[in-house]
């Protein structure tokens, strides 16, 4: 039998982003290093295509902050890759939407944080909603199909119907009502973000009704949070089975959060060919298939459907990346998820967010700054 | 050998139920075409056609790919079904047309084929 084939390349072009959403999927402590150049990405696209990749998602951070994005789109299309842009929409202009379409871009996924400016700004850390509405119009005007992506959480999930209405009004082709998953920044903000079971049920009903009503015109995708699922999701279709993820500095991962697992070292495309990484790197082989599984996964009939769930979640909640995904009712650590759910169902005021931030370069030392810091550090 | 349209998810997972809303059922006079952002691609590696769209890919066998290649926004559903029937004269009466229609209805309800006039 042949080995697994990556169909989709998730290309994180940068971690830079004008927004600071508290559920951002970027790492909480990104490794330093130079972003891959357009030339390096061109080589990666060629290697990815040779490996079997057919779709590429240009994402970030905010990919539009890369001035060479149009060249990257052309390079991807030059390899006949189906090319999507995943964006906040904030830096978009009408001219840039046209230029990207002319370069061969095939689809745009635009995030929205809520359905009006004040609420959206509370999540994004700055006003951006009105700019997103303009961006959506420019995407459609450029003739590109539009997916609206709304990350759902306890403060906005009750407005699922309003998200549907917004998607209809903007002429979107798809709407993703995707509940936040609790890794990285979202895990740090879990108490403020995780919805209750009642909220989730209501939103799921809204989505099902809209899906039936709008079939053929607007596709609705509803994503349940693992914490409320009972059984684990088939995370990434299995570890290193069909998705390949690259960070801005070229580190290859089986999923965006894999870097959070301590003890695994992931290789960079700057040091090895993509095919060698995909097929042979120990990190990609670590959780591939079923052999790594402990009980109760090892003998579970569900293992062929869910591949044991999410390794990153297992590590983040239990400290052991090979443990059963605590989202699963059968997992020894499932009580951690039950406790978080109970907390989410407790009434209470909105909690403060810890917004995503990027580590800043240290400011150049000035005499005033140094003496102030020394005073602060000095004992009384 | 019987002609049969076939479609599977690229990643081998379940295809999932098609939608079932109004506008999903094509009529004979509709002129179907691929929805924006949907394209047919030959996958030389596995020797199959793939229907690529935002976030997903569907493997099509040759008959299913032929049906979609005829969805050019000019031919009507009736014309497409007649052309297909003519291409496979050895098949039992109505069978190819029935399968092709079911495929179009399925893809239309998934939003991958559009039957309304372009905006």
- Which ipTM did the prediction report? 0.86
Q: Tell me the pLDDT band of A220, cut-offs 50, 70 and 90.
A: very high
Q: Dump pLDDT digits (tens) for A227-267.
A: 999 999 899 989 999 999 999 999 999 999 999 999 999 99
Interface test with A, best of B24, B47, B111, B119 (most A CBs within 10 A): B111
Reading the block at residue A303, the tokens are 């293992």
pLDDT at A376: 59
Measure the CA–CA gap between B20 and A6, rounded to whole angstroms.
Answer: 31
Taking residues A68-97, report their average pLDDT.
Answer: 97
Q: Computed from CA positions of residues A17, A34, A108, A253, in that sequence, does the dihedral angle turn out positive or negative?
A: negative
User: Is the Cβ–Cβ distance between B45 and A80 less than 8 Å?
Assistant: no
Set of chain B residues whose Cβ sits within 8 Å of the Cβ of A241 = 11
- Phi/psi region, residue A118 (left: phi>0; alpha: psi -120 to 50; beta: rest), is alpha
B52 contacts A82? CB cut-off 8 A: yes
Q: Is the peptide bond before A61 cis (omega within 30 degrees of 0)?
A: yes
pLDDT at A352: 87
Q: Computed from CA positions of residues A206, A209, A212, A217, in that sequence, does the dihedral angle turn out positive or negative?
A: negative
User: Is the Cβ–Cβ distance between A274 and A48 less than 8 Å?
Assistant: yes
B20 contacts A215? CB cut-off 8 A: yes
- Residue A209: closest CA among chain B residues belongs to which residue? B21
Instruction: Give the closest-approach CA distance of B28 to chain A in angstroms.
Output: 17
Q: Tell me the pLDDT band of B118, cut-offs 50, 70 and 90.
A: very low
Look up the pTM and report it.
0.91
Set of chain A residues whose Cβ sits within 8 Å of the Cβ of B10 = 7, 54
Range from B6-15, B28-37, B82-91 carrying the lowest mean pLDDT = B6-15
Q: Dump pLDDT digits (tens) for A330-355.
A: 999 999 999 999 988 887 777 889 99
A215 contacts B24? CB cut-off 8 A: yes
Measure the CA–CA gap between A99 and A221, rounded to whole angstroms.
Answer: 29
Does A106 contact B at CB distance below 8 Å? yes
DSSP string of A209-276?
Answer: HHHHHHTTTSEEEEE--GGGTSS---GGGSTTTSEEEE-TT-BEESSTTGGGSTT--PPBTTTS-HHH
- A-B contacts at Cβ under 8 angstroms: 86
Measure the CA–CA gap between B102 and B97, rounded to whole angstroms.
Answer: 9
Q: Tell me the pLDDT band of A367, cut-offs 50, 70 and 90.
A: low
pLDDT at B56: 84
Taking residues B98-115, report their average pLDDT.
Answer: 88
Range from A83-97, A137-151, A252-266, B94-108 carrying the lowest mean pLDDT = B94-108
Measure the CA–CA gap between A297 and A301, rounded to whole angstroms.
Answer: 8
Q: Tell me the pLDDT band of A375, cut-offs 50, 70 and 90.
A: low
B39 contacts A219? CB cut-off 8 A: no
Q: Dump pLDDT digits (tens) for A102-135.
A: 999 999 999 999 999 999 999 999 999 999 999 9
Set of chain A residues whose Cβ sits within 8 Å of the Cβ of B39 = 82, 106
- Residue B106: closest CA among chain A residues belongs to which residue? A216
pLDDT at B24: 61
pLDDT at A1: 44
Q: Computed from CA positions of residues A254, A61, A26, A160, in that sequence, does the dihedral angle turn out positive or negative?
A: negative
CA-to-CA dists, residue A6 to A36, A238, A288, B9, angstroms: 21, 11, 13, 14
pLDDT at B18: 65
CA-to-CA dists, residue A354 to A122, A157, A322, A343, angstroms: 11, 19, 29, 18
CA-to-CA dists, residue B17 to A82, A215, B9, B113, angstroms: 24, 12, 12, 16
- Residue A213: closest CA among chain B residues belongs to which residue? B21
B19 contacts A242? CB cut-off 8 A: no
Closest listed residue to residue B106, CA positions, set B26, B12, B14: B26
Measure the CA–CA gap between A251 and A266, rounded to whole angstroms.
Answer: 6
Reading the block at residue A82, the tokens are 């189906």
B19 contacts A217? CB cut-off 8 A: no
Share of chain A above pLDDT 90, in %: 86
pLDDT at B44: 87
Reading the block at residue A308, the tokens are 């044991």
Q: Dump pLDDT digits (tens) for B25-74.
A: 788 899 999 988 999 999 988 899 999 998 889 999 999 999 999 999 99
Quote the longest CA-to-CA distance of chain A: 71
- A54, A55, A216: residue with CB nearest B108: A216
pLDDT at A372 over 80: no
Interface test with B, best of A48, A171, A216 (most B CBs within 10 A): A216
Share of chain A above pLDDT 70, in %: 94
């Amino acid at each position: 039998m042949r080995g697994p084939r990556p169909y989709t390349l998730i290309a994180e072009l940068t971690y830079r982003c004008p927004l600071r959403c508290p559920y951002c999927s970027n790492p909480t402590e990104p490794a330093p290093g130079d972003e891959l150049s357009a030339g390096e990405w061109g080589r990666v696209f060629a290697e990815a295509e040779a490996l079997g990749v057919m779709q590429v998602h240009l994402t970030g951070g905010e990919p539009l902050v890369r001035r060479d994005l149009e060249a990257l789109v052309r390079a991807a299309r030059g390899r006949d890759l189906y090319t999507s842009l995943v964006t906040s929409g904030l830096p978009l202009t009408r001219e840039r939407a046209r230029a990207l379409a002319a370069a061969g871009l095939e689809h745009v996924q635009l995030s929205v944080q809520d359905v009006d400016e004040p609420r959206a700004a509370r999540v994004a850390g700055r006003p951006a909603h009105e700019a997103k509405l303009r961006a959506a119009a420019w995407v459609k005007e450029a003739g590109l199909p539009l997916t609206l992506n709304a990350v759902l959480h306890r403060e906005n999930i009750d407005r699922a119907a309003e998200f549907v209405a917004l998607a209809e009004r903007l002429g979107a082709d798809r709407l993703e009502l995707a509940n936040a998953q609790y890794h990285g920044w979202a895990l740090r903000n879990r108490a403020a973000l995780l919805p209750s079971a009642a909220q989730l049920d209501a939103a799921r009903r809204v989505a099902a009704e809209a899906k039936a009503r709008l079939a053929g015109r607007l596709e609705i995708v509803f994503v349940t949070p693992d914490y409320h699922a009972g059984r684990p999701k088939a995370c990434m279709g299995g570890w290193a089975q069909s998705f390949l993820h690259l960070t801005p500095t070229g580190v290859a991962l089986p999923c965006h959060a894999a870097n959070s697992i301590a003890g695994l070292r992931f290789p960079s495309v700057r040091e090895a060919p993509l095919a060698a990484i995909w097929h042979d790197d120990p990190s990609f082989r670590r959780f591939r298939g079923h052999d790594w599984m402990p009980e109760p996964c090892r003998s579970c009939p569900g293992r062929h459907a869910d591949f044991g769930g999410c390794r990153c979640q297992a590590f983040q909640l239990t400290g052991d990346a090979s443990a059963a995904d605590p989202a699963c009712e059968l997992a020894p650590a499932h009580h951690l998820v039950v406790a978080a759910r109970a907390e989410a169902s407790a009434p209470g005021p909105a909690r403060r967010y810890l917004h995503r931030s990027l580590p800043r370069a240290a400011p150049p030392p000035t005499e005033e700054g140094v003496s102030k810091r020394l005073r602060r550090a000095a004992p009384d | 050998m019987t002609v049969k349209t076939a479609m599977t998810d690229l990643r081998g997972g379940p295809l999932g139920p098609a939608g079932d809303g109004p506008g999903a059922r094509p009529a004979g006079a509709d002129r179907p075409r691929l929805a924006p952002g949907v394209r047919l691609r030959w996958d030389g590696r596995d020797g199959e056609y793939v229907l690529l769209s935002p976030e997903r890919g569907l493997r099509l066998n040759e008959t299913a790919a032929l049906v979609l290649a005829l969805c050019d926004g000019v031919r009507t559903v009736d014309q497409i079904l007649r052309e297909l029937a003519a291409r496979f004269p050895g098949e039992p009466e109505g069978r190819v047309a029935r399968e092709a229609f079911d495929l179009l209805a399925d893809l239309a309800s998934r939003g991958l084929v559009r039957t309304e006039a372009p905006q």
